[in-house]
Amino acid sequence: MTAPTRPSRTLHITTAVLPLAGWTVHAVVMHRRLAAAGRDPLTGALRRDGFTARAQRLVDRHDDTAVLIADLDHFKQLNDRLGHTPGDSALAAVAARLMEWAGPRGVVGRLGGDEFAVATRISPRHRDLRIEQLGHLLALPVPIEGEPVHVGVSVGAATAHVTGTADLSALLRTADTAMYAGKHTGIPVQARPGDPAAPSVNGRRAGRPGTSTHAIRSAA
């Protein structure tokens, strides 16, 4: 008389598996949608090309646009210490905070690795306060596997008023130089008129992954 109970047990097991399978399918679908939309599947930030196009339009149309570079401090050590999954969580959390700060009219891109760029409009009279607020937001611990983890983020900012040009590549270079001036301090640095800009390849500091001129020539 035990045979009739087997189908119900089998049905119960199959039903228990469905939510996991459903979430797996959902993750795959979301990954494909983000990729199709030109977004980085891990963080939801725009990929380089999408960010560059939208940020340049923003800079061209609005002279109060600020361009920022954000770079995680000691990210390799964090990966080595906690593993790649917690590292991915840190990247996603930082991207989410940048997007929250930039607002719906701003754009956030992941340029590569642990490097992000932001373009958003900020009234000149509110710029100091807004960028200070970003520093406080990024300084908040990131919950990773149930534990608060401090993830240092260095930030540099530049505007067309500082660079004298609305060229996005020049703004990124100047913001990158400002970011390095405040590296590991936790305090965002705004570029000032007359500040030098770092040598770069495609708007990124020379020496960063993907900026090798040899690699670019080889790929051409």
- On whether residue 145 sits in a domain, the answer given is yes
Question: How many distinct structural domains can be found in the chain?
Answer: 1
- On whether residue 2 sits in a domain, the answer given is no
Instruction: Provide the pLDDT confidence category of residue 90 given band limits of 50, 70 and 90.
Output: very high
- On whether residue 203 sits in a domain, the answer given is no
- On whether residue 107 sits in a domain, the answer given is yes
- On whether residue 165 sits in a domain, the answer given is yes
Answer yes or no: is pLDDT of 106 > 80. yes
Q: How confident is the model at residue 36, as a pLDDT?
A: 52
Give the DSSP per-residue string, 137-152.
HHHSPEEETTEEE---
| Mean pLDDT across the chain | 81
**Catalytic residue status for 114:** yes
* Cα Dmax for the chain: 89
Q: How confident is the model at residue 24, as a pLDDT?
A: 58
| Eight-state DSSP code of residue 106 | S
- On whether residue 36 sits in a domain, the answer given is no
| Residue pair 54/39 in contact by the 8 Å Cβ criterion | no
* Cα dihedral across residues 207, 132, 117, 174: positive or negative: negative
| Residue pair 172/203 in contact by the 8 Å Cβ criterion | yes
Q: What is the mean pLDDT of residues 156-176?
A: 95
| Residue pair 152/74 in contact by the 8 Å Cβ criterion | yes
- On whether residue 34 sits in a domain, the answer given is no
Give me the percent of the chain exceeding a pLDDT of 70.
72
Least confident of 1-15, 68-82, 147-161, 195-209: 1-15
Determine the 3-state secondary structure of 182 from DSSP: coil
Give the DSSP per-residue string, 36-55.
HTTB-TTT-PBPHHHHHHHH
Return d(Cα 175, Cα 66) in angstroms, integer: 9
Determine the 3-state secondary structure of 102 from DSSP: helix
| Residue pair 87/30 in contact by the 8 Å Cβ criterion | no
Q: How confident is the model at residue 56, as a pLDDT?
A: 97
pLDDT tens per residue, range 187-220: 999 998 877 666 655 555 555 554 433 333 333 3
Q: What are phi and psi of 216, to 5 degrees?
A: -65, -40
- On whether residue 143 sits in a domain, the answer given is yes
Q: How confident is the model at residue 103, as a pLDDT?
A: 96
Instruction: Provide the pLDDT confidence category of residue 39 given band limits of 50, 70 and 90.
Output: very high
Q: Which domain holds residue 62?
A: 44-193
Least confident of 45-49, 74-78, 201-205: 201-205
Answer yes or no: is pLDDT of 3 > 60. no
Least confident of 11-20, 23-32, 44-53, 128-137: 11-20
Task: Classify residue 80 by burial, with Cβ atoms within 10 Å: 0-12, 13-18, 19+.
Answer: exposed
Instruction: Provide the pLDDT confidence category of residue 79 given band limits of 50, 70 and 90.
Output: confident
Q: What is the mean pLDDT of residues 160-173?
A: 94
Q: What is the mean pLDDT of residues 52-78?
A: 95
Task: Classify residue 155 by burial, with Cβ atoms within 10 Å: 0-12, 13-18, 19+.
Answer: buried
From 60, 71, 73, 114, the catalytic residue:
114
Return d(Cα 85, Cα 89) in angstroms, integer: 6
> What's the pTM value of the predicted model, to 2 decimals?
0.75
CATH number, domain containing residue 117: 3.30.70.270
